[in-house]
Structure 1
């Protein structure tokens, strides 16, 4: 069972926080409220007991190529270690893409991932954007996805009336994402 939450109930929030802390020790808890975070949760089994996997959807407007796009990104995608390899992460990411595709307030889903995870996200319906770099952080303290030693790929899904034209704007370019210092590179 999958649920989408703007505000997590306390017990669920504690489980999500524990999963994120185990995956990224010292990364800090939570997401920047300015990015309108929504958490997507997949439960272990049919009930709403233990969280099997979760991720957070973040949003902001991006100005690029003379246009303004309502972007959403995947952040903090994690599956409980003992449940990995069962397809749960793929189900979660596919469901998140469907949530974004159905949202009339989202033009593009856009995020970076470790390059070796590209096939995982492509199987969930995202496409790699060759030559594209996300500029995270802030303009004063940028975090580019092509920073030396930072082997990232940029993936996207386009939900505009003319996805091919939008894809062309986002391909082989440096995108000023600048989500801030909390979610430096979603």
Structure 2
């Protein structure tokens, strides 16, 4: 089987250690007119493919494997992901499909009943903006922006990281936010919302 899709996001490379030593993973978001799904490459493929796959470009993929997604590593609402393997072939193509951002909003009053690590879209108002903080963890620098959002009297903490945090130039108190691909997380005994590299944000 084959898949034709556009790359809408390249996630930061991730490393891990197992009995064979240090390994690496790269993940992309693929979109077509039916929805979105993650493409995942390990080790040598993870090293090579970021120089061949670019955001906004169209590709045809042949010979991918299909695997369920561990919720901890979920980046899209899809329950499956596509894995690059030794038989995979990829080529550049031109697609008639033009990617346009669409939302499937979840109300904040539904968040408590959804599984942790669910990926949702939200449309909320900012009550408090605690500003930006920066730091370094394990040699990697980070930027964080914590805000308090509400929708129809339901309140929740939202944390934006790195590029999303940097995109906000000033205070956004009382602004309306539309966000796509927000993860439901757990912190200090309550559910929170967390941005990811593929989170899209619109300030109204």
Structures share a fold, TM > 0.5? no
Give the structure-2-normalised TM-score: 0.27
Which structure's CA Rg is the greater one?
2
Q: Decide which structure has greater helix share.
A: 1
TM-score (norm 1): 0.29
Structure holding more strand per residue? 2
Higher relative contact order (CA 8 A, sep 6+): 1
